[in-house]
A = this chain, B = another copy of it.
Amino acid sequence: MVKQSAPDTARRSEKSRRAIYDAALALVGEVGYPKTTIEGIAARAGVGKQTIYRWWSSKADVLLEAFLDLSGQAGEGREQYVIPDTGDLAADLKGVLRATVDELRDPRFETPSRALAAEGLVNEELGREFVAKLLEPSLQLYVQRLRSAQDAGAVRPDIDPRIALELFVSPLAQRWLQHTGPISYAYTDTLVDYALYGLAPR
């Protein structure tokens, strides 16, 4: 019997971890959060449930990390964790929102996200945890970009960036969440123009 080398163990762990993420996301999309269990995730991932409990303390924790991993994957190949600052605020915001439109339309992201958002509506504790760990950090990227626009004189200095970003982020979120209207690049471009220049004549 050959003793397994450290890199092999790491590779096997990484493979299990990925299988667990995939199983958790697939399951929550199919049966919803309440019926998703550690046992179900373990069975689907082909691991023992003690493997899961070694790394995570609850299904909420597994799902949280699975989503963090998914967002990381979704961002591959494009600028991440910061909104570009080309000096053209409208163009920068439109670019990020177009990438968000792509993500919201990707079924790998759409189905589990919708299941989790639905649970967050009625399970306030879970909702607040996922907002704090998944949603708010991405909103803070807009806060940073708007602050830099304030420094450059492109946004009024008295504006609260945390509220301002909601003028273009929340409409997209509501259309996606509640099916209140179609989602397109033209739509998000329009939101940015309306938010920056206002509805009243200039």
Contact = CB atoms under 8 A, between A and B. Distances in A.
Interface of A: 32, 114-115, 117-122, 124, 127-128, 131, 135-136, 139, 146, 153-156, 159-160, 162-164, 166-171, 173-175, 177-181, 187, 190-191, 194-202
**Residue among A32, A153, A156, A160 with the most chain B CB within 10 A?**
A156
- Taken together, the copies of this chain in the complex come to 2
Summarize A's interface: helix, strand, loop or mixed: helix
B156 A163 contact: no
Contacts of A180: 131, 135-136, 139
3 shortest interchain CB distances as A-B pairs = A198-B198, A166-B171, A118-B121
Contact of A177 (B121, B155, B168, B187): B121
Nearest to A198: B198
A82 to B, nearest CB: 20
Contact of A135 (B131, B135, B160, B178): B178
Contacts of A32: 122
7 contacts: A32-B122, A117-B121, A121-B178, A124-B179, A127-B178, A167-B167, A170-B173
B191 A163 contact: yes
A162 B156 CA distance: 26
A157 to B, nearest CB: 9
A198 B201 contact: no
Given A118-B121, A171-B167, A171-B170, A194 B159 contact: yes
Contact of A154 (B119, B175, B190, B200): B200
